[in-house]
Amino acid sequence: MNKRKPDDEFARINLSFFRADGAETIVWCPESRTAVATQHPSRRTLQTDEQSNVRETLRPKAEKQAASPIATVEPAAELAEKHFTIFYGDTGYSYDSMLGDYLATAKEMVVEDPYVRLSHQVNNFVRLCETAVRRGTIKKISLVTSFEDEEQRRDVEGKLADLAQSLLEFDIVMDWRIKGALHEREIRLDNGWLVKISRGLDIYQKPQSWFELGASDLNLRKCLETKVDIFRVKSSTGN
What digits encode the pLDDT tens for the residues 110-130? 999 999 988 999 999 999 999
**Residue 81 to residue 102: CA distance in whole angstroms:** 10
Q: What is the mean pLDDT of residues 70-88?
A: 73
**Residue 82 to residue 220: CA distance in whole angstroms:** 21
| Contact of 34 with 65, CB cutoff 8 Å | no
Q: What is the mean pLDDT of residues 182-187?
A: 88
Instruction: Reply yes or no on whether the pLDDT at 179 is more than 90.
Output: no
For residue 26, give the 3-state DSSP assignment: strand
Provide the pLDDT for residue 160. 95
| Contact of 219 with 98, CB cutoff 8 Å | no
Q: What is the DSSP string of 63-78?
A: HHTSPPP----PPPPP
**Lowest mean pLDDT: which of 17-31, 48-62, 131-145?**
48-62
CATH 3.90.870.40 fits 82-232, yes or no: no
CATH 3.30.870.30 in the chain, residue ranges? 82-232
Query: How many CB atoms are located within 10 Å of the residue 238 CB?
Result: 8
pTM of the model: 0.66
Instruction: Reply yes or no on whether the pLDDT at 189 is more than 60.
Output: yes
Provide the pLDDT for residue 107. 96
What digits encode the pLDDT tens for the residues 144-166? 999 888 888 899 999 999 999 99
